[in-house]
Amino acid sequence: MPRVTVAKAVQETSFYGAVAFFFVLAAFPFYWMVITSFKTNGDLYNVTNIPFWFNDSPTLEHFRYLFERTLFVTWLLNSLIIGLCVTAITLVTALPAAYSLARMTGRKGEALGIGIFLTYLVPPTLLFLPLSRVIAELGLQNSMWSLVLIYPTFTIPFCTWLLMGFFKSMPREIEEAAIVDGCSLLGAFIKMALPLSVPGILTAVIFTFTLTLQEFVYALTFISSSAQKPVTLGVATDLIRGDVFYWGEIMAGALIASIPVAIAYNLFLDRFISGITGGAVK
C-alpha cells in the first residue's frame, strides 16, 4: 500500500509542477509588465534590488508621463478609429460574400471560399513593397487612413471564412419558409438570416477589431509620423529617445493596450478555433 501512495504523491506533485510551469510561463511576462509600470525609476535601474517586488513604494509616474507627455491618447484614438472603420468595411463586404458562398453558389462557392481564405495566408512581408507604392500613389503615405484601406485585405478573407461556417450551420428551412411565404431572396437574407446570425456577426466584429490591434508590419511600413501611429506601433517604437528606452512607460502602455484584446480572446476563443479550422472537428 505505501508504495502506491508514494507513486500517487509523485504523480500529483509532478502534475501540479507542470501546472505551475505553464502558469509562470504564460503569465510572467505580463506580471513583469505590471510590476515595471508601477516601479519608480530608482527601483527599476538598480541591479542589487530584488526585481520581483517593490523595493520603493509603487508609483503612478509612468502612467502620468504616458498620458500627459506622450501621444499615447492619440495612439489609442487612432487605433479605435482604424478598428471601427475596418470593422465596418469588413462587415459590409464579408457578410454578403459569406452568405452567398454558403447558400447561393453551391460547389463553386466552396472552392471560391477556400480561395478567399487562402489570401489570408499571403503575408504582409510579401506585399508591403508594392502596397507602399499603391499608398503613395493614393497620397495616403504617413496617414492612418492607409491602414484603414489595407487592413481589410486580411480581415475580409478571415471574416468571410468565419461567417461562411456560421451560415452553413444555420438551418436553411427558416429562409426557405420565408421565401415560400412571398419574401424575396434579398429579403430573406436581410430579415431572416442576418438577425439569426447576430452571434456570428459579433464574433466577426471582435476578431476584426483585435486583428487590427495586433497588426504591426503594415503600420511600421506605412507610418512614420508619431501622431498617426496606432497604439501598438506607438508603444513599441515611439517611447525610445535615442538609445534610452522608457521602460516604465513602454510597459504601462503595453499593459493598457493588451487588456481589451486579452479579454476579447478569452470570451470568444471557441468560435475563433472553429472558425479557422473550418469545422475540421465536428
Partner 1 sequence: MAAIAEAVSKPPSRFRFILDRRDVLGAIFVSPAILYVLLLVGVPFLMAVYYSLSAYTIYDPSWDFVGLDNFADIIEDPTFQHTLLNTFIFTFGSQGLGLILGKFGALVLLRPFPGRKLVRALVILPWAVPVALATVAWQWMFDSLYSVINWTLIWAGFITREQAPNWLGTANLAMLSVIIVNAWRFFPFAIVIFLAGITAVPQDVLDAATVDGAGFWRRNYQIIMPMILPIVAIGLIFGIVFTFTDLSIVFLMTMGGPVGATSVLGFAGFQTGITSGDVSHGAAISLFMLPVLLVVVVFMLRFIRRREI
- List binders of partner 1 among 186-205 (CB under 8 A): 186, 189
Q: Which three cell numbers stand for residue 103?
A: 447558400
Q: Three-state SS across 58-120?
A: CCCHHHHHHHHHCCHHHHHHHHHHHHHHHHHHHHHHHHHHHHHHHHHCHHHHHHHHHHHHHHC
User: Cell 501540479 identifies what position?
Assistant: 16
Residue reference for cell 491618447: 73
Closest CB 59 distance from partner 1, rounded Å: 17
Nearest to partner 1 of 104, 227 (CB atom): 104
**Quick check: 174 binds partner 1 (CB under 8 A)?**
no
Taking CB under 8 A as the criterion, the residue among 80, 84, 88, 236 binding partner 1 is 236
156 binds partner 1 (CB under 8 A): yes
Does position 91 interact with partner 1 (CB under 8 A)? The reply is no
DSSP state of 57: P
State yes or no: residue 244 binds partner 1 (CB under 8 A): no
What is the rounded CA–CA span in Å between residue 20 and residue 18? 5
82 touches partner 1 (CB under 8 A): no
Joined together, the cell numbers standing for residue 203 give: 464574433
- Distance between CA atoms of residues 114 and 269, nearest Å: 22
Q: Which stretch binds partner 1 (CB under 8 A): 63-71, 152-160, 167-175, 190-198?
A: 152-160
Q: Are 218 and 147 in contact (CB under 8 A)?
A: yes
Query: Binding residue for partner 1 (CB under 8 A) from 1, 4, 25, 244?
Result: 25
Site for partner 1 in 203-232 (CB under 8 A): 210, 213-214, 216-217, 220-221, 232
**Helix, strand and coil percent figures for the chain, each rounded to 5:** 75, 0, 20
Q: Between 73 and 122, whose beta carbon lies closer to partner 1?
A: 122
Show the binding pattern over residues 39-78: x = contacts partner 1 (CB under 8 A), - = does not: -----xx-x---xx--------------------------
Size of the site for partner 1 (CB under 8 A): 97
